[in-house]
Amino acid sequence: MEQLKKEIEETISNKLPEIQREVENNITSINNVVSKYIKQLNKEIIEPLISRDYIKKSEMNIKYYSEVLFEKCLGEKYSAQKIKNIGIEGEKRFKNNIPPGFQDDEKFKNIVIDGEIFQNKFGDYAIWKDIIEYCKNKISINDKFTNVVIVSDDKKEDWRSNKQSMRSELKQEFYFETGLPISMLSSAEFIEKVSNNRELANVARKTVQALDQELTKQKDLDIEAINNGNYESLVGIWKNSRGDILDIKFDGQVNDDMKLVKIKNLNSTNKVPCIGIGNGYTGAALVLFKIGFKNPYGDQSDISKARLILTQNEGDYPAEMYYYRQ
């Protein structure tokens, strides 16, 4: 038995160098095959991708898209006189409810451009004028295009009829000024028409809806938090059509001379939630209307927005008394 074991060990030991050489040869063959295909892939795929022609083409694409996305999409800088003219024209249009933008008439914040005050409420009208002027200039230099599409998710009725198609007044004005037809598509509608991909359009639609819901939530009043002394959802500048302003701070300070105060059992007797407001000598109620909530006594306000009323009595208030956040 011992002799047999010894012979087997010797035989295996003698065979080991041969086995090792064969394994090494096979590994070398495998490496050669892999190396061969790597070189082939490099020659057929990698090298063309980094060739001068490809880089040149990529640079051209980058330049083209940068021009499309930035340079060619920006109009000329507004002069002080143009800013002034937009304000004058905008005021006339808004008084007669001429679209677009007249529903922004309550926007209060302004910016200063070259020393001239530009009122934010005329932003939509400025965009509209830019589009018209751009198209008229293009026509004058014989750039040929036959249709104009505004891509926007703005649903206000100073752009759309019943939040759907573009208002006919805008289409008529645009055609009169440029001789071209114009339409308005939401981002989801535009994606679907351009890509012919309904699934992609649905993703865009859901994204816009989610953003709308989040923005609405942020802009609405949190009655429970307000009643507990947290005035975050009230913070901002509120204005009514009479020109009265309420500037509410995080600490409940209002217009530097008034303060929000919680009045015990105030909301248990009122049909509409409210909070006290006063300056130490006199007081009133600040009535709180959440988005979508109608005044049970009669509502003359825009219920699509949060509203405030400064009063000492409940009732059906005239439209000009309602404050809206700017």
pLDDT of residue 268 exceeding 60: no
Contact 83, 115 (CB under 8 A): no
Q: What is the b/e burial string over 285-304, where b = at least 16 CB atoms within 10 angstroms of the residue's CB?
A: bbbbbbeebebeeebebeee
Model confidence band, residue 42 (pLDDT cutoffs 50, 70, 90): low
Give the span between the Cα atoms of 89 and 125, in whole angstroms.
9
Q: What is the mean pLDDT of residues 140-169?
A: 77
Give the span between the Cα atoms of 6 and 71, in whole angstroms.
87
- Dihedral sign of CA atoms 198, 201, 205, 210 in order: positive
pLDDT attached to residue 131: 87
Q: Give phi and psi for 14, each to the nearest 5.
A: -70, -30
Q: What is the mean pLDDT of residues 124-142?
A: 77
Highest-confidence segment of 54-68, 93-107, 200-214, 229-243: 229-243
Give the span between the Cα atoms of 258 and 263, in whole angstroms.
15
pLDDT of residue 235 exceeding 60: yes
Contact 313, 226 (CB under 8 A): no
Find the helix or strand (DSSP H, E) in which 288 lies.
strand 283-289
Task: Identify the CA nearest to 260 among candidates 232, 241, 279, 240.
Answer: 279
Give the span between the Cα atoms of 12 and 16, in whole angstroms.
6
pLDDT attached to residue 253: 87
Contact 279, 271 (CB under 8 A): no
Beta pairing partners, 118: 111
Q: What is the mean pLDDT of residues 290-307?
A: 88
Least confident window among 76-80, 224-228, 249-253:
76-80
Give the span between the Cα atoms of 325 and 320, in whole angstroms.
14
**Is the peptide bond between 100 and the residue preceding it cis, with omega within 30 degrees of 0?**
yes
Model confidence band, residue 322 (pLDDT cutoffs 50, 70, 90): very high
Q: Give phi and psi for 58, each to the nearest 5.
A: -65, -40
Q: Is the pTM of this model over 0.85?
A: no
Contact 44, 38 (CB under 8 A): no
Model confidence band, residue 159 (pLDDT cutoffs 50, 70, 90): confident
Contact 171, 180 (CB under 8 A): no
Model confidence band, residue 308 (pLDDT cutoffs 50, 70, 90): very high
Model confidence band, residue 54 (pLDDT cutoffs 50, 70, 90): very low
